[in-house]
Structure 1
Amino acid sequence: MKLPSSFLDNMKNLLSDEYESFLRTYDEERAYGLRANTLKISVEEFLKISPFNLSTINWSSDGFYYKENIRPAKSPLYNAGLYYIQEPSAMAPVEFLDVKRGHKVLDLCAAPGGKSIQIASKLQGEGILVTNDINSNRVKALVKNIEMYGVKNVLVVNDSPQRLSKNFEGYFDRILVDAPCSGEGMFRKDEGLIKSWEKDDISIYPNMQKEILESASKMLKVGGKLVYSTCTFNINENENIIENFLKENNNFKLLNIDKNYGISEGLGIKEVGRLWPHKLKGEGHFLALLQKTDGEVINHDLEKANNKPPQVYRDFEKENMNISLEGNFITINDNLYLAPKDLIKIKSLKVVRTGLLLGKIKKNRFEPSQAFAMVLKKEDFKRVINLTKDSTEVIKYLKGETIFVEGQKGLNLITVENFPIGFGKLNGSTLKNGYEKSWRWI
């Protein structure tokens, strides 16, 4: 790996006598990680059915290392949303955010969504998660991951931090700012980032990070906590950002990041955390935990709740389901959503998902969505076809092909090892494949 000389000079200045140890990590195998999705399965149950040889990531409550030669994205259990593939150090920011059930949480720079799913697993369906990304292309991956992993109590937004702050002033209990950065900590993971680093003007990032952090600070409740994180080593994007923010915002204080599991104190600021690849099994990350100590308490107007969905949906439930959903139903352009509880009025934001997309109202019928299938349990549906993770049928289903199986005629919930992956209509022994086209295996 050919590292830029100016990057190496900067790292030598930062690390001094640790520089050689740091440099040797680029000749070593990097760490690979995944997280069990506890919205769908407990860690204990996941370990029982996992086909992988896993070892614990110490700073993560549900994270595990796996070996490089394993391909976890090629298991149907991945398509059931039972685990998310994530670089081990990237699991740390949410762990330090201290998310509790019922919290209102914002993931401000969220795509592709790994940290949002981690937040959702801590909320366990209570409270609300607002997950946002300003990039319209990246937000597509965010939506897919939110839906695949069964997140219900969510607003997916595609807008700027400044515009969000006008809607959510003083609203959130917790905010994650996983800020855009120069990405130096990920050079070993993705050599393409080295070329981007050399080509791009990385001096743009501190101003961008400052503006994002300022917008985020306005949206935090008094007493609320905010984690600022990056995946770069650059002190101008890390400690200097926090130092300048605290100088300009005396209603915030810096909380200590516990220095366990190889996490180090910051450069000149001992309270912040640094994850160095020569001190732990992971790539480079920076963490700062801030708390808002003073400010105005804002009251937000709630959207009027609608507890009565269209009759065609209730007819669908009666014909196909063993449960009946309750909550706030919203119809937008014939799409039926189950919105989060206590949803506030939102003005002029690009909202991509207003809660769980249940499906589409088509004339006199209701057509369920892929997202709906992913939040169900097998016992919720009247007709279920269960496939094993090693069967040829499950691979064909994930590729969108017609399969031949035994079961009850009509709409079936398709599961793998009893975990839902989609819908299909059975006629005789022929299953018409209902797996989402954009998710299909190629």
Structure 2
Amino acid sequence: MDKNTYIPENFIDDVKSYIPPHLSLEDFIDSCQQPLRLSVRVNTLKMSVADFEKEAQKMSWQISPIPWCPEGFWLTRSKEEEAALPIGNTALHLSGCIYVQEASSMLPPLALREEIHAIEGNEFAILDVAAAPGSKTSQLGALMDNRGLLVANEFSSSRLKVLAANMKRMGISNCALSHFDGKIFGDYMFECFDHILLDAPCSGEGTVRKDPNALKNWSIESNIEIAEVQKSLIKSAFLALKPGGSLVYSTCTLTPLENQQVCSYLLEEFGDAVEIIALDHLFDNANLATTDQGYLHVWPQIFDSEGFFIAKFKKRVSVAHHDQQIKKGKFPFEAFAPKAQLAFNAYLKKQFKMNALPGNLMQRDKELWLFPEHLESLRDKIKYARLGVKVGTIHKNGVRLEHELATSFGQLAKQNTQALTQSQAVDYFQGKDIRLEKLTSETGEVILTLCGAPVGLGKWQKAKIKNNLPRDLIAQGQLITWV
């Protein structure tokens, strides 16, 4: 129990005015002072749930399924093990097989699961309006199975870098990153997206179990200011949504000012064009947290989680928008030359027995990128900070492969792969070359794997594999050892 959790009296007075009658204020305060359970989500782009369960058993991790997320688990490790090796430095995490994600934050993407799984082929686009650090974005990418186009936007430049790093680690290959205030999407990408997730910036009232100081600067005035931003974002998101599409709005806060009242604003603004999709059947016992309107208002004591709010809407018909904007400027990429493309594909076939990569190869100066197939119709709508996967650097003698090609497509390789041992993996993530137990006659590039998942590239050199891990990804400290 953390009695140091800061819960101001004026916040408690405010909560009293809207806590549901079937819930106890005392239970709420007690829950806020309880430690948050560690939870992880299996990244099915890199590992199956069944394989994760086997790995957890090998390491004597105690896991229990999260009821609303088939890929989610609460996880218990010994205090000694966690102190010696944080979960973020374990092999499963470094390989991108798991993402440490709070259980209730898995709910917003799951509210779109049914719609995503109903789509056939690659001709669809999904927008994540406020994406960093990437837990929900990578969850959407896994639900999409890297099909279609996933536009992930982040307004903060520093958080955008974290988002990009997480997309690489998790093997998300159908993603385009943008760096804007989310208010621009309705104007520049009017009715472009099949489905949209708006996990809005908020006051974070539901996060006190993770951050004891989350309420240090809490005030009603701040709630009101944030709600105005949220209203502008939800209006923009609805304008960017195609007719027939779904919009999920979520926050990690509790106040109706930032939740129900923002939803009411959307309903008032667009009237009969908006339909509420009730979430009371999203999972077993969802009704315990469902409001009269059909929204999920997850209080910490209901499911022993963080506080969260999730609402889902359908856009019934197109709406009028008379202030659409058009991006200026030339698109800085051009198609990779057909002859060079054939040579590149031939190398992948020869070295890895890998077929042509799914997507469109595009060139910018000496950079070679693979764009998602569905980007064409949306590529000129806005300026993107990053598009698809950087697969190589072009030289006069061909293409030198990049780290991301391995993390995104390494599972397609049928030869020249090397499974890292525990000690080799430590060396690899610390930027060291990998010593081989015996000499090899293999040459050229090799895809390195950990826990069965691709983690990067190396180059065969008789007694070792030369490490090609980018410098910004080299880890410091203890890695992948067990007490």
- Please indicate, yes or no, whether the TM-score normalized by the shorter chain is above 0.5: yes
1:84 paired to 2:109? no
Per the TM alignment, residue 76 of structure 1 is displaced from its structure 2 partner at its CA by 1.6
Q: For each residue in 1:212-250, what CA deviation from the matched residue of structure 2 results, as whole angstroms up to 9, or x when unmatched?
A: 011100111111111000000111000011112101111
Q: Which amino acid aligns with 1:291?
A: K
5 Å-filtered alignment, 1:340-355, equals 340-343=372-375, 344-347=377-380, 349-355=382-388
5 Å-filtered alignment, 1:396-411, equals 396-405=427-436, 406=438, 407=440, 408-411=442-445
Q: Which amino acid aligns with 1:257?
A: L
Question: Structure 1 residues 192, 149: CA separation in 2 closer, same or farther (over 3 Å shift)?
Answer: same
1:285 paired to 2:290? no
1:22 is aligned to: 28
5 Å-filtered alignment, 1:54-203, equals 54-67=63-76, 69=79, 70=82, 71-98=86-113, 99-100=116-117, 101=119, 102=122, 103-197=124-218, 201-203=222-224
Which of 9, 15, 19 is the equivalent residue of 1:5? Answer: 9
Per the TM alignment, residue 337 of structure 1 is displaced from its structure 2 partner at its CA by 1.5
Which of 260, 273, 289 is the equivalent residue of 2:296? Answer: 273
Q: Which amino acid aligns with 1:393?
A: Q
Contact 2:189–2:381 at 8 Å: present in 1 too? Answer: no
Which of 239, 243, 250 is the equivalent residue of 1:218? Answer: 239
Per the TM alignment, residue 264 of structure 1 is displaced from its structure 2 partner at its CA by 3.8
Q: Which amino acid aligns with 2:72?
A: G
1:415 is aligned to: 449
Contact 2:33–2:209 at 8 Å: present in 1 too? Answer: no
Contact 1:152–1:375 at 8 Å: present in 2 too? Answer: yes
Which of 356, 364, 370 is the equivalent residue of 1:338? Answer: 370
Moved more, 132-141 or 355-364: 355-364
Per the TM alignment, residue 424 of structure 1 is displaced from its structure 2 partner at its CA by 1.2
Q: For each residue in 1:156-203, what CA deviation from the matched residue of structure 2 results, as whole angstroms up to 9, or x when unmatched?
A: 111222333334211212100000000000011112423343699343
Contact 2:127–2:196 at 8 Å: present in 1 too? Answer: yes
Per the TM alignment, residue 418 of structure 1 is displaced from its structure 2 partner at its CA by 3.0
Give the Cα separation in 2 of the matches to 1:95 and 1:166: 27
1:310 is aligned to: 340
1:255 paired to 2:286? no
* SS in structure 2 at match of 1:376: helix
1:440 paired to 2:474? yes
Question: Structure 1 residues 104, 252: CA separation in 2 closer, same or farther (over 3 Å shift)?
Answer: same
Contact 1:239–1:266 at 8 Å: present in 2 too? Answer: no
Per the TM alignment, residue 261 of structure 1 is displaced from its structure 2 partner at its CA by 3.2
Give the Cα separation in 2 of the matches to 1:419 and 1:297: 47
1:43 is aligned to: 49
1:362 paired to 2:395? yes
Contact 1:263–1:276 at 8 Å: present in 2 too? Answer: no
Contact 2:32–2:209 at 8 Å: present in 1 too? Answer: yes
Contact 1:76–1:395 at 8 Å: present in 2 too? Answer: no
Give the Cα separation in 2 of the matches to 1:331 and 1:305: 6
Question: Structure 1 residues 314, 91: CA separation in 2 closer, same or farther (over 3 Å shift)?
Answer: same
Q: Which amino acid aligns with 2:94?
A: N
Per the TM alignment, residue 39 of structure 1 is displaced from its structure 2 partner at its CA by 1.2
* SS in structure 2 at match of 1:38: coil
2:351 is aligned to: 320
Give the Cα separation in 1 of the matches to 2:149 and 2:170: 16
Per the TM alignment, residue 315 of structure 1 is displaced from its structure 2 partner at its CA by 5.4
Moved more, 365-374 or 235-244: 365-374
Give the Cα separation in 1 of the matches to 2:338 and 2:213: 51
Question: Structure 1 residues 240, 414: CA separation in 2 closer, same or farther (over 3 Å shift)?
Answer: same
Normalising by structure 1, report the TM-score: 0.91
Per the TM alignment, residue 309 of structure 1 is displaced from its structure 2 partner at its CA by 7.2
Question: Structure 1 residues 158, 429: CA separation in 2 closer, same or farther (over 3 Å shift)?
Answer: same
* SS in structure 1 at match of 2:218: helix
Q: Which amino acid aligns with 1:436?
A: P
- Counting aligned pairs with the same residue, the percent is 28
Q: Which amino acid aligns with 2:278?
A: N
Per the TM alignment, residue 22 of structure 1 is displaced from its structure 2 partner at its CA by 0.9
2:481 is aligned to: none
Contact 1:113–1:145 at 8 Å: present in 2 too? Answer: yes
Which of 407, 426, 429 is the equivalent residue of 2:460? Answer: 426
Aligned length: 437
1:34 is aligned to: 40
Per the TM alignment, residue 63 of structure 1 is displaced from its structure 2 partner at its CA by 0.5
Normalising by structure 2, report the TM-score: 0.84
Q: Which amino acid aligns with 2:267?
A: L
Give the Cα separation in 2 of the matches to 1:198 and 1:438: 39
* Unaligned residue ranges in structure 1 (runs of 5+): none
Q: For each residue in 1:293-313, what CA deviation from the matched residue of structure 2 results, as whole angstroms up to 9, or x when unmatched?
A: 111699x9x999779473563
Give the Cα separation in 2 of the matches to 1:332 and 1:304: 7
Give the Cα separation in 1 of the matches to 2:194 and 2:412: 34
Per the TM alignment, residue 119 of structure 1 is displaced from its structure 2 partner at its CA by 0.8
Over 6 Å off, 4+ runs: 302-307
Per the TM alignment, residue 38 of structure 1 is displaced from its structure 2 partner at its CA by 0.9
Contact 1:156–1:351 at 8 Å: present in 2 too? Answer: yes
